[in-house]
Amino acid sequence: MDSIQIRLRLARPEDGPDIWRWRNDPLSRQYSFNSDPIPLEPHLVWWAASLANLKRRTYILENELGEGLGSLRKDELETGEIELSWMIAPEHRGKGYGTILLRLGLAGETARCIALIKPENIASCRMVEKLGFSKREVGVYEWIGA
């Protein structure tokens, strides 16, 4: 992984089908708060609205070939906090990309960030703790910044 160039870029409309595929993966559904399968057409309508939402920024982690490795969503809450949500492409799980994704996504962030994580999602719980998040309550982690 050392020789691979990885970057975080803003999501684009053409990323919608990848996000849909990643979101419908059985493991992604298991750890999502909405675990129902999502049909493509309603997802693409949601995706367009999501990209137009001024209180949301969505990023894609990609390699030098332009292959999507994962996504990070940042939603600005009424409290001023940023709620984080992420996914790693099923074929790229277990390679450390989640940590890279969050590190890049938090770089320069000044707002307090929160992540809602199902307690049974042990890998994500460990990852955010390793990145300096603290547990606010069961299933809620917060990051105050560097």
- CATH number, domain of 87, equals 3.40.630.30
Helix (H, G, I), strand (E, B) or coil at 5: coil
Please check whether residue 137 lies inside any domain of the structure.
yes
- Domain membership of residue 1 (yes or no) is no
**For the chain, what is the mean pLDDT?**
94
Percent share of the chain, pLDDT over 70: 97
Range of the domain at 91: 6-143
> CB neighbours of 61 closer than 8 A, spacing ≥ 6?
6, 7, 8, 68, 69, 70, 71, 72, 97, 100, 101, 104
The pLDDT of residue 52 is 98
- In this predicted model, what pLDDT tens digit does every residue of 50-101 receive, in sequence order? 999 999 999 999 999 999 999 999 999 999 999 999 999 999 999 999 999 9
Count: domains in the chain: 1
Instruction: Please tell me the predicted confidence (pLDDT) of residue 146.
Output: 60
Instruction: Confirm whether 32 is domain-assigned.
Output: yes
